[in-house]
Amino acid sequence: MEMGVTGCRFVLGSTKMLAVALGKTEADELRTGLSRLSARIKGMVGLFFTSLSREEVEAAFKGFSHEDFARPGSKATHAFSLQPGLRKLGLTTRLNKGVVELLKDHVVCQAGQVLDPHQASILRVFDIKMATFRLQLLACWHTAKAAAS
């Protein structure tokens, strides 16, 4: 990921592990105020460590987006149909002179449809990216203030 900022660390991982590392309660927090930040670690979140100001981080995040593969539960941005393709994906196929052929067109998804894991894996196999990865600042903790906001 390139956002144009240097000297920063972005950490993704198990939300439970990240919360425990910061401290879930005031008694076990790593630094004062981190347990309040720890309480916000839910869903698809990560930690971003930097010496930049909040305004600089918000500006960097606002201008950043990255095309990504859709995950199960995402909405399809456009329709995608398979013509001859892959046999192992549970599609009706036949072997013709050593070539796997799809017997009929197969609609993988329609625009606006919520994708299931099977649809998401087919789109990934065909390198179809329907999601956009963006960053949003939900909370911050500053050493000098020793508080999460």
Same domain, 103 and 56: no
Is the residue at 2 inside a domain?
Answer: no
Collapse the DSSP code of 115 into the 3-class scheme (helix H, G, I; strand E, B; otherwise coil) and give the result.
coil
Amino acid identity of residue 60, one-letter, is: A
Is the residue at 72 inside a domain?
Answer: no
Same domain, 88 and 114: yes
Is the residue at 60 inside a domain?
Answer: yes
Residue range(s) defining the domain that contains residue 57: 9-65+135-148
CATH number for position 40: 3.30.70.1730
Query: Among 33-47, 55-69, 96-110, 111-125, which is the least confidently predicted range?
Result: 96-110
The model's pTM is 0.54
Same domain, 109 and 143: no
On average, the pLDDT of the chain sits at 78
pLDDT of residue 145: 62
Q: Other CB atoms closer than 10 Å to residue 95's CB: what's the count?
A: 9
Same domain, 16 and 58: yes
pLDDT classification of 99: cutoffs 50, 70, 90: low
Give the residue from 60, 44, 30, 14 showing the smallest Cα distance to 141: 30
pLDDT of residue 120: 87
Number of domains forming the structure of the chain: 2
Is the residue at 73 inside a domain?
Answer: no
Average pLDDT over residues 99-127: 82
Give the residue from 143, 138, 146 showing the smallest Cα distance to 58: 138
Q: What is the helix (H) or strand (E) element at residue 67, kind and residue range?
A: strand 65-68
Same domain, 13 and 55: yes
pLDDT tens per residue, range 16-38: 888 888 888 889 888 888 888 88
Is the residue at 74 inside a domain?
Answer: no
pLDDT tens per residue, range 102-112: 777 778 889 89
Is the residue at 75 inside a domain?
Answer: no
Q: Other CB atoms closer than 10 Å to residue 143's CB: what's the count?
A: 9
